[in-house]
Amino acid sequence: MNKMAVRVPFVDLKLQHEPIQMQLQYAIQSVLEQGDFILGQALSDFEAAFAAVSEAAYGVGVASGTDAIALGLQACNIGAGDEVILPANTFIATLIGVIRAGAKPILVDCDRQTALIDLEAAAKAITPQTKAIIPVHLYGQMVSPRELIKFADTYKLLIFEDAAQAHLAQRDGYHAGSVGIAAAFSFYPSKNLGAFGDGGMLLTRNSDVAQKMGRLRNYGASQKYFHTEPGTNSRLDTLQAAILHQKLPYLPQWNRDRLTIAQQYDLELAPLATTGIIPIENQSDTGHVYHLYVIKVDDSCPIERQQLQEKLTAVGIQTGIHYPIPCHLQPAFSNLGYQPGDFPQAEKLSQQILSLPMYPGLSSSQVKEVVAAIAHAVSTTSKVDETSNADLDSVVA
């Protein structure tokens, strides 16, 4: 039996790259001719440019977004004996970064409407050992900087932003990457600003943090063969930096395209709200950059999330789930001592969220097709007789 041809892909990078193919080829050729493949001029240029558009003072390119978190926390002098608060509803890299820095991760629940960290829950988790909070700017929407700064001032904490999904996002007059002492970004290919492989960057307004980060990514060396601390090898390749720099001027328009697509989704999906199809709430107006467009398949919906995803796949519409298992229930981190039920909002969302196709170039007719397929699935399917936590129970049993 032949698989259904993909009619609406989840992501289509060709639509971004084909119009600027000549510029990308020029960037690659320039690095080839220059020959400075490691810590070259194109890297320095891109670090400065990305920091500037994000309203940060310094940028330090590294090999991945995970390294940007792990090394970035170390550069902020966060490590053994320190507790760091972060949401259970995030990609596992946030948690791994805290552990790699040597600190103790303290997970908290999220807000059900936005899927962002619940600061009231975070306040209850603070101890004398708490040193920092990592607000994850999830799906392209920032945690409120105004509320974050008030929170950090109240409890004397550092703000370390996880902005891996929030390139050029804005809220409360701030850009992602300009709120805390430092911020980690990812340039994974499908990000709003993506490389042709892995890559990441730390942004900071603190010169000491930037200098230490520069040493940590390069074997802890302040100069060649002179190592002042135990660092590692994590450098954003000059070639990737050159590609990213060529793409950077297009990022504002790509983000505007994502917003337009999200606004159409909002409009088209509105009639389905009474059937339990609820988009994750945007509290940032035009500052949301929609790395992902995520809906909730609520308990009131006549179809389960898995059924809906299968029916969309059957008609050639690709979707994703970000993320199907919260951090505290991942088998690799059972030693942290968390149990099912500890973070009910994150757990509930993990069973209900569904990411719809979202990328610059997604057409209006494709958005209509996606929504029409959802409406058809909802109107023609009865919910299977199973508990809402069956999938989660099978994972953690």
Residue of 104, 131, 191, 296 marked catalytic:
191
354/341 Cα distance (integer angstroms): 21
Q: Name the helix (H) or strand (E) containing 61.
A: strand 58-62
Which stretches of 205-322 are assigned E, i.e. beta strand?
221-223, 226-227, 277-279, 293-297
188/170 Cα distance (integer angstroms): 21
Residue 142: other Cβ atoms inside 10 A: 28
Establish whether 191 is a catalytic residue: yes
288/168 Cα distance (integer angstroms): 9
- Asked if 170 contacts 283 with a C-beta cutoff of 8 angstroms, the reply is no
- Asked if 217 contacts 38 with a C-beta cutoff of 8 angstroms, the reply is no
Distance of CA 337 to the CA centre of its chain: 25
27/24 Cα distance (integer angstroms): 5
Pairing status of strand 221-223 against strand 83-87: unpaired
| Residues noted as catalytic | 191
